[in-house]
Every structure is written in structure tokens, then in C-alpha cells.
Amino acid sequence: TWTAVDAYTISHLHPPSKKNSAVLLDALTQSRDEGLPDIASYPVIAKFYALQCRAMRVKHALEIGTLGAYTSIFLATENPGMQITTIEVDPHHYKVAQQNVAHAGVLEQVTAKLGAALDVLPELAKEIESGGKPRLGFVYIDADKSNNWKYVDVVIPMCESGAVIFVDNIVRGGDLVDRAKKDASTAGSRRVVEMVGKDDRLDGVVLQTVGEKSYDGILMAVVR
Ligand code: DHB
Ligand code: MG
């Protein structure tokens, strides 16, 4: 039923006749053909992020965990005036992402950087501090879950006041509250929830989600 509801709502609210629908489908097909895992954000969630960016008039968005650039292409094509920086650690994912971004015609909007985010972010911080790029208005963290909190902590000084930070895969089918689950990803989800709650620079909430990628949830935090 969750999948059917997503299919029904997206067919009306983001139908195949939309200008970017073909290149988004191409990005998914190309990613699958190149052997990338099927863990991109799905259309309902990507559209939600794209609308967040538009409503907040975001000038510069950051994504950690490009994968095949599905979300970056969604954000870029829905928000023509916005710049996106996206960071990917896997060279093959990065190559496929660059091809998908080029095919989607958004190379000028999307800057993909290859490397571990904790290595790449200081360079981006310098670009922002020197005025070379606008401060971040939107951040989407969807990478190695054990570093969730480190990523949030490092990006806060790069954000404008009122910026929004989203972190994917927080609820994990309920593992978040299952004491028997002690894996690094679940621990990383707990840590980011607990640290956001203690941090005076942030105000946050977790939204549980159901849909075509099953039961999970996203953390939303606003930078004061
Ligand atoms: C996995 C990672 C993700 O970011 C996601 O959304 C779903 C699954 C994974 O590593 O299995
Ligand atoms: Mg994810």
C-alpha cells in the first residue's frame, strides 16, 4: 500500500510529462546498469527536498553521498538558480554521477567533488569563507552513517542562519530504538539524534517515513 500511494501521488504531482522526468529516469537506469546499489532517495523524498530548497530560496545546497547524482539532478533541475556541491568517496560512483549530471544538462549547477567528505569539506569551507561560494542553505547527509554527527558538526559553520540539514536513514525499520541493534550505522543514527538534541546551534525533529524504500526516517535540523 505504501508503494501504491507513492505511485498514485507522484503520478499526479510529478508526472512523467514533467521536464526533468526523463533525465531522472535515465540517471536511475544508468546507475543500475553501472552496478550502483539501489539506495538513491526516491522521487517523493527528492521532490520534498527540491521543494524545501525552493521555499527557502536556497542559493547553495550541499549533498554528502552523491551515489549516481539522482538527488542532485532532482534539486538542480527543480531549482535552476541554485548551486549544488556534492561529495562522493567512491571513484566509480563519482564517474557515473558526472556522466549523469552531464546528460541531465546541469554541469554548471552541480559541482561534484571526489573524496572523503571530512577531507573535502575544509576546502569547501575556505571557498565559502573567501566569498567564492554562498553559505549553505540546505544540506543533505546520506553517506557512511557512523560519521553522521561529524558531518553535521563540520557543516554548521558553513551554513547561513536558518539553513536546514537533513540526515537520511535515521529510523532503519525501527532499529533506532531496538537495544539489541548495536551496528555502526544504527549507532551513528542514535548519536546524531542525541547530539542535535544537546546542541544549542541546532533545533531538530525526526520524521518517520514509509514508501517505496520501506520504513525509515529523516532527521531535520535547523541552524539557529
Ligand atoms: C543503505 C544506505 C542508504 O543511504 C539508504 O538510503 C538505504 C540503504 C545501505 O547502505 O544499505
Ligand atoms: Mg540513504
Instruction: Give the model's pLDDT for residue 6.
Output: 95
Q: Which atom number of ligand 1 is nearest to the Cα of residue 143?
A: 4
Centroid of ligand 2 to alpha carbon of 167 (angstroms) = 8
40 close to 70: Cβ distance less than 8 angstroms: yes
- The CATH number covering residue 34 comes to 3.40.50.150
Q: What is the pLDDT of residue 75?
A: 98
Neighbours of 69 (CB within 10 A): 32
Supply the pLDDT for residue 58: 99
Cell triple for 167 = 540526515
Looking at residue 213, its pLDDT comes to: 83
pLDDT of 76 reads: 98
List, for the chain, all residue ranges whose pLDDT scores fall below the cut of 70.
Answer: none
Identify the residues whose C-beta falls under 6 Å from ligand 1. 39, 142, 168-169
Nearest C-alpha neighbor of 143 from the set 110, 176, 121, 173 = 121
Distance CA 188, CA 185 (A): 5
**Secondary structure class of 35 (helix, strand, coil):** coil
Nearest CA, atom 5, ligand 1: 39
Average pLDDT score, the chain: 97
pLDDT on residue 82: 98
| Ligand 1: centre distance to CA 172 (Å) | 9
The residue nearest atom 8 of ligand 1, judged by CA position, is: 39
Domain count, the chain: 1
User: In the numeric block, which cell numbers belong to residue 83?
Assistant: 548551486
- Percent of the chain at pLDDT > 90 equals 98
Residue 33 is predicted with a pLDDT of 98
The boundaries of the domain holding residue 139 are 2-223
